[in-house]
Amino acid sequence: MATLREVKNRIKSVHSTKRITKAMEMVAAAKLRRAQQRVEEARPYSEKLDLMLSHLATASTEDISHPYFEERNTKKKTLVVVTSDRGLCGSYNANVLRKASEWLETNAEYEVEIVTVGKKCNDFFKSRKWSIVDNFSDWSGVINYDKVHDMVKLLTERFLNKDTDEIQIIYTQFISTVKYKIVSPRYLPIAKPEVDEEAGFNMDYIFEPNPESIYDSILPNYATSKMIMAVAEAIASEHGSRMMAMGNATTNAEEMVDTLTLEYNKARQAQITKELLEVVAGAEALKT
């Protein structure tokens, strides 16, 4: 059985850990609010671009043609995996990496290259057999638009130069503070917008100078918007996971303190009882 001093030191240690986890929970909560605001600001823009492409496809009398829409005989794929730079966020990174491993097993028939986003992802894949094209890390928990543009430039150039035939992204879609969903949408080629025949009767668009020029202007922004949205949602999901993990750790520390305090009181009471018995036994021995 642990001595009183050992139990007391353990209580002090758990108290220190609790203060750290509580502080990390509060920091994550503050960062989550800002990240959630960025997601909410970016979503309408992304959805509007989707709607605009659909309207253009509906109003166009010609077949849609653009390099970003080019469907090829797929031989090589590029997988972009988005994780965090730091840990202490529960099962967030493990779930994303598990999804990526499942995707790689499913696509084992293709030649696959990986673009890693975040240190955790890069550390996981750098010792494995797949080739890492590039790594984008050191985000500091906030979206860096320069890095996003560098990512978009790298991916679009590889697709247009036919260094890869298809690009997919695995990231966490932010749903709420306590919930996220791992998704793996195709990034390139972009799926051609669906034509809404009924909506077409209510549209009267005039293309100036021509549909190709309009798509040349819109689609690069569309690709950038989709990547910004993916990174923003992943960062928000990371902060939500870290806030929940640190909250659970704080609760566990409180429960451990209660348990150790009870153990300390029991040990202290047992020691006092033992000393009283020794005093009484000594007093009785003096009487005889």
In angstroms, what is the C-alpha Rg of the chain? 29
DSSP line for 83-100:
--SS--STTHHHHHHHHH
| Residue among 260, 243, 268 nearest 25 (CA) | 243
Residue 201 identity (one-letter amino acid): F
Cβ neighbours of residue 48 under 8 Å, at least 6 residues apart? none
User: How far is 18 from 12, CA to CA, in rounded Å?
Assistant: 10
Signed CA dihedral, 257, 261, 267, 271: sign only: positive
Active site residues: 89
Check if the beta carbon of residue 179 is closer than 8 Å to that of residue 56: no
Torsion from C-alpha of 245, 134, 42, 207, nearest 10 degrees: -160
